[in-house]
Structure 1
């Protein structure tokens, strides 16, 4: 059985010198150089391996300004078949709940999707929330922190979840949403031919008029969490103490210092 897979990806900023909108307190992403969220490459690689084994179609899905297309092209160059960019001023300022809602509505519009993959988290926000939120809106099973996909039989997949102090093997039914850990695979590099072919593939751009969305549940209006303030951490100079004498003397002095600072 072939699979229709959607991989949700995000473009994250390259620079740490980001501008904050003084009114919304959100990052100003438009015009900023960005790269694909590294964890999302593992999700794409997982989808490509499933396609290599069982066949099917992989569609990339992202939400952001028009310049996010360059990141979608990178995913297409890795071997994905098509892409959808959700781009509208009405989507701007969305928190994880509003983002998950819009993504879920787009997945419904794509239709007949068997599996939705996310990277474990994005490196700019680190919430790990959007994948689970999408699964709730779709009312599909979710499996997070997946490090291995073992088998596929009809509508059933077995996966391993890598947790902090344990591994969990779990069997789940499709359709489903999974989030992928970096340990799962090594993402492939786009070949020159695939890079060339990626510019022949279509990127559809949808806004709120293309989706069945409630206008009160998108963008800032649909975001119950609010950033009240943003500040840069203060830089504090640290002193360096050098340990003199022989190795044994230096070790004794180190142990005294650690004990004095309640580190032992």
Structure 2
């Protein structure tokens, strides 16, 4: 089974801030990590490879420094890493990103399964996975919490719902987006780290994937961020100070005042 895992390098959530001039995330000076949901997608891909045989290719779209998360993916069990990187991709929205990833997947050749995290923590749209499936005309299931059965021809999975879960069977090739409940990602082994140290990341440009200039980056993005702002605080607020015990005492007294 040939599996492709889409991985995104994102700013560490605790350091995220917005640039008020560009209405985009300020990434300079902010630590970058592998998107947490993608880590679970990678783990599921490696488990399927161990069960059915085959290969796992980690695919990312981003600046040159995104090679770091691809090397990390190799240290955790991926066989190779491919980075789609070009200045022309800058400013891409979810549609342009889905298009670019689809062109990259087509460039890589035949595959059986694409795995993505449910969403990226920097955008939280959950649109790229389904968008990629639509671009490639693949059957797909989102929010997968468990793989029940897997073969070279089909998968049976559980899709998380608000009131439980659905059991869905779909033929391959297909695409899945996964939630954190699906597994517990492994830690890089020493052998994996040594493999990653020797690995070469393949880099594909816009020309390499034969992307149409009008469909990528800012020019190919039908959505634009018009304004970013913090919502105005609502209601009455009180701030308590002091030690934890003192703050709890003040809070209890405040609550009792409403009883």
Distance 2:225 2:115 in 1: 28
CA distance in 2, matches of 1:9, 1:217: 21
2:15 aligned with 1:16, yes or no? yes
* Higher deviation after alignment, 150-159 or 55-64: 150-159
Aligned residue for 1:226, secondary structure, equals coil
- The change in CA–CA distance for 1:123 and 1:98 in structure 2 (over 3 A counts) is same
- Structure 2 counterpart of 1:90: 88
Deviations 1:70-102 (A, max 9, x none): 111111100100011111110000000000000
Aligned pairs for 1:1-264 (under 5 A) are 3-14=1-12, 15-18=14-17, 20=19, 22-23=21-22, 25-29=23-27, 32-233=30-231, 238-239=237-238, 242-244=251-253, 253=256
Range that drifts further, 101-110 or 232-241: 232-241
Unmatched tracts of structure 2, length 5 or more: 241-249
Number of equivalenced pairs: 247
TM-score normalised by length of structure 1: 0.87
Question: Structure 1: 5+ residue runs without aligned partners?
Answer: 245-249, 258-264
TM-score normalised to structure 2 length: 0.88
Moved over 6 A (4+): none
RMSD: 2.2
* Secondary structure of 2:110 counterpart: coil
> Following the alignment from structure 2 to structure 1, what is the Cα–Cα distance between the partners of residues 220 and 206?
13
Q: How big is the shift at 1:214?
A: 1.1
Rounded to whole Å, the distance in 1 between the matches of 2:151 and 2:77 is 24
On the 8 A contact 2:52/2:152 being kept in 1, the answer is no
- Say whether the 8 Å CA contact 1:92–1:220 is kept in structure 2: yes
Note closer, same or farther for the CA distance 1:93–1:133 as it changes in structure 2 (3 Å cut). same
How has the CA–CA distance of structure 1 residues 154 and 7 changed in structure 2, closer, same or farther, with 3 Å as cutoff?
Answer: closer
| Aligned counterparts of 2:73 and 2:178: Cα–Cα separation in 1 | 16
After TM superposition, give the deviation of residue 231 of structure 1 in Å. Answer: 2.7
What is the CA–CA distance in structure 2 between the aligned matches of 1:113 and 1:29, rounded to whole Å?
Answer: 33
Deviations 1:125-169 (A, max 9, x none): 111100000000000001100011111234111111011112100
CA displacement 1:42-86 (0-9 Å, x = unmatched): 000000000000110100111111111111111110010001111
Preserved CA contact (<8 Å) 1:42 1:187: yes
SS of 2:131's partner is: helix
